[in-house]
Chain A
Amino acid sequence: MSRLNSMSPAALRALLAPEADDDLIVLLTLSGANITTPIRLADGYTQRLSETATDIVYGVRSRGVDYMFLPLQITLPDEQHGSAPRCSVTIHDVSRQLIPVVRGIVGAPTVTLELVLASSPDAVEAEFPALYMSGIEYDADTVSGELTTESLSSEPFPAHTFTPSICPGLF
């Protein structure tokens, strides 16, 4: 079922209207894989999350959680039958906070993508949960990776094979 069917009229208007005064913001949550505190990023901003005399952090506050604004280039997952959704993400790590985390990752981190409207960030318009980031590459400026789901179609079934040790009567 297409996610367009579950999106609000305001979100569809933001997507399809010739002049849209609202914007869909992608919220990305990176967790698991030895990441002690989930990393929450957004590709747009609606407010200042914090400010000091030396720095301002812009971002989105959604459901009481702060998502820090970092430029993201993301291709949303497609919805093809018979194949696992794939998408890619490139994070412009201008604050240099991600690269130390990426270096300490053990395994594939879990990624959750959510779409929210800038005018109503507490309402999630679409969610892409349980994605895994693999093929992570990084340089001084960017962190990029492929996002995939666990492909059950490649898992062997049944779990066992008929071998003499399990089914000696067959041999």
Chain B
Amino acid sequence: MAYSYVWPPALPRAPRRDGWTEKAGANVLRTPMDAGPAKLRRRSARPDSHQCTYRMTTEQVALFRAFVDDTLKAVARFGWPHPRTKATVEARLVPSDDGIYTVAVAGRGLWDVTVTIEVMP
């Protein structure tokens, strides 16, 4: 695996327990038939998608923004600590209609940063 950047050590290593979901699987083609059950065919592997919400301080949010905007340019792959396996995996950010990440107030000086990350096959 070749990537030039890694998740900054100063950022939280794991997302919030109630702010993480993982979607995994493969590219499967499902074709309904005129009669009988649908046919399934496995096409290929697909990236695992992780919806993560990290609780960050104001300084960590600034570091995260610099990492995404200046280092990754929002497209580069990076080494990311997998929340479940704890291994460093090759991942990249997934944009949505609302942008790359969202920041919400969580408390005094605390912020919830939500981002979607996919692990490359």
Contact = CB atoms under 8 A, between A and B. Distances in A.
A21 B40 CA distance: 8
Nearest to A18: B39
Interface string B26-48: 00000000001101111110000
A24 to B, nearest CB: 9
A23 B44 CA distance: 8
B44 A51 contact: no
Given A54-B76, A56-B120, A14 B2 contact: no
B40 A51 contact: no
A18 B40 CA distance: 6
B44 A20 contact: no
B2 A52 contact: yes
Contact of A51 (B2, B39, B42, B43): B2
A45 interface: yes
A22 B42 CA distance: 6
Interface residues of A, number: 17
B40 A20 contact: yes
Interface in B1-49: 1-4, 36-37, 39-44
Nearest to A52: B2
A44 B43 contact: yes
A53 interface: yes
Contacts of A19: 39-41
Nearest to B43: A23
Interface string A5-31: 000000000100111111100000000
B44 A14 contact: no
Interface in A29-48: 44-46
B39 to A, nearest CB: 5
A21 B41 CA distance: 6
6 contacts: A14-B41, A19-B41, A23-B43, A44-B43, A51-B1, A53-B2
Cβ-closest 5 pairs across A and B: A53-B4, A20-B41, A51-B2, A19-B40, A21-B42
